[in-house]
Structure 1
């Protein structure tokens, strides 16, 4: 809407998207909290988690609904959505719906686990596969990976073309990589969402960096989407900071992870995103290593996984863990952006 009026000021549009999304989340969240409390819809805390988290039982959840609404409103007001924006936004919303079903199942059944892990993974892989096929066939995304300063890897060497329409290309290796990337980021952000403000704060940092990368690539609409996602995180963080008045739930964390992955595909940073989102990678790896090592030796590497709980067990306060993880996330994201920027300058 405003894109046509301020087309000469793209930087302003990106910041405006962040601001509008922030304000919408800031304004709508209190009403959503009151509604959830009136319906007694709250978080079910896991019994095997830190005992200090038991006080969080019953805290309103599914704040991700407001975050997604804030993003949609910001894009409709600021942007002039392109096919890339629609593809990413639909993938994000569908993943949010999957998370909402999971959250609702937890609330209805009064348990900390909602959908089965297999059910969630199946839904995530389905959404990721559809997105990557649209990206390759409709958006013209090349099935390649950029290894900064090293090489460009062609993952389209094993491609099947289905005789439908103008032909549907299925670059199997690229589809496999992107599926693992998107599903991995969904669940990594979800695992990170274990302390008040942790996922919202770290994702805000990552989204701001992705907005800068998209802008650097002259991709205004993806930059606006990334900025809107970052703004939603900031607005939500006002109520999610310790002690949290509301949690984003799987509705928010899964959607944010999908958004981060989709932006990486569109901006061709499918490898650099592993550095920018390095904190999520570390959180996910801590769980994988803990489970694998315990099955083999019946001993634990960490006092508790994911990684943030390990530091809680070591005596760090929740706020100390969150703030230090924010700092680490900012440092890692800055390193990732620097690598991307230097690579783009040398390749220009």
Structure 2
């Protein structure tokens, strides 16, 4: 438990203290956000607000992780932890390039779709290939070729090539889902913090009930390679998001930009795979899923009927254009995010109870 608390605390402090430094530097350099034409009226005052604040989240997350291993963890960084952090950083770099192009061209369009998808593809393929390597002494690799809900579904196997394809779909899907959600002050950051807090609990529970524990396999145990280090990563990322939220909450002093949203999306996808909970993540991160689906449905309905299903997609803008105040939308969406996180955690615990109950 101590490494988890240290990782969260260090990342929180670094994020709170480092973000205002970035605000000053980016403001001086003129790294301001461009606003979509469709919401100019509601968000015109935000034009010029510093962006690329995801840099602070990445720096704080790495700081929390490394300080923990240098001080209290008592072990070297794990393969699982480094793979998830590497994936997060790689997508953060893709997002940074996207943000930088937007700033230089003074428009709300950065990398084209092909370039962004190629960046996501390279990061996803590298992660997927490496995640199937590095088996430990118990022959457990960071990720599994089986689809998982709370644990592996043995009858659904991708195979190595299929897993690489699945990983790309999951990573690009989650990074884009978080990117869609990042349209209001603190909405994506606050939601991500809740999802990450849920995964701190999940990873810690997997640690306490690991099939590789010294006492041997237990009823309901989990076959996860590095549960403690995964919990440390999730805790560091949670602390970084909460610290950033201090400056990103309405009215935002800085935006995370694609640097932050793509990185967080990749982080969530990576966590789901190394904890063997890919399908559970769809429930825990339900708000991100709804935001992404709103965009897909809006496009599909408009192309087939030439009518709009929502006033505007992503979904949060629909309510804003309906007359809701921005803070009202954010808080109510946070409540929905908290509900999906609690529901997902409840399903996780219910599965464990059902597994243990067979032996009682």
For the criterion TM > 0.5, the same-fold answer is yes
Counterpart selection for 2:105 from 99, 103, 109: 109
8 A contact 2:146–2:153 mirrored in 1: no
Distance 2:266 2:54 in 1: 13
Shift of 1:216: 1.1
Distance 1:91 1:310 in 2: 32
2:214 alignment counterpart: none
1:109-166 CA-to-partner distances (Å, cap 9, x unmatched) read: 111010001111111122112111111123513211234599544324xx4xxxxxxx
Shift of 1:176: 2.2
Distance 2:179 2:347 in 1: 26
1:200 alignment counterpart: 189
Shift of 1:98: 0.6
1:183 alignment counterpart: 172
1:257-296 maps to which residues of 2 (within 5 A)? 257-296=265-304
1:94 alignment counterpart: 90
Distance 1:39 1:61 in 2: 11
Shift of 1:172: 2.6
Which blocks of at least 5 consecutive residues in structure 1 are unaligned? 1-10, 160-170
8 A contact 1:128–1:182 mirrored in 2: yes
CA spacing shift, 1:312–1:132, aligned 2, 3 Å: same
Distance 1:147 1:212 in 2: 16
Q: CA RMSD in A?
A: 1.5
Distance 1:347 1:262 in 2: 25
1:47-95 CA-to-partner distances (Å, cap 9, x unmatched) read: 1235211211100001111110001111111134111111111111111
1:12-51 CA-to-partner distances (Å, cap 9, x unmatched) read: 2212211110110101111110111111110011112352
SS in 2 for 1:215: helix
CA spacing shift, 1:13–1:283, aligned 2, 3 Å: same
1:164 alignment counterpart: none
1:236 alignment counterpart: 244
1:70 alignment counterpart: 60
1:155 alignment counterpart: 157
Distance 1:153 1:264 in 2: 19
Question: Residue 341 in 1 paired to residue 330 in 2?
Answer: no
2:264 alignment counterpart: 256
Distance 1:82 1:150 in 2: 21
TM-score (norm 2): 0.87
Which blocks of at least 5 consecutive residues in structure 2 are unaligned? 70-75, 136-140, 208-226
CA spacing shift, 1:148–1:222, aligned 2, 3 Å: closer
Distance 1:153 1:114 in 2: 42
CA spacing shift, 1:316–1:76, aligned 2, 3 Å: same
Q: Answer with 122-131 or 272-281: which moved more.
A: 122-131
Provide the aligned length of Structure 1 versus Structure 2. 325
Counterpart selection for 1:127 from 123, 129, 146: 123
8 A contact 1:149–1:343 mirrored in 2: no
CA spacing shift, 1:149–1:60, aligned 2, 3 Å: closer
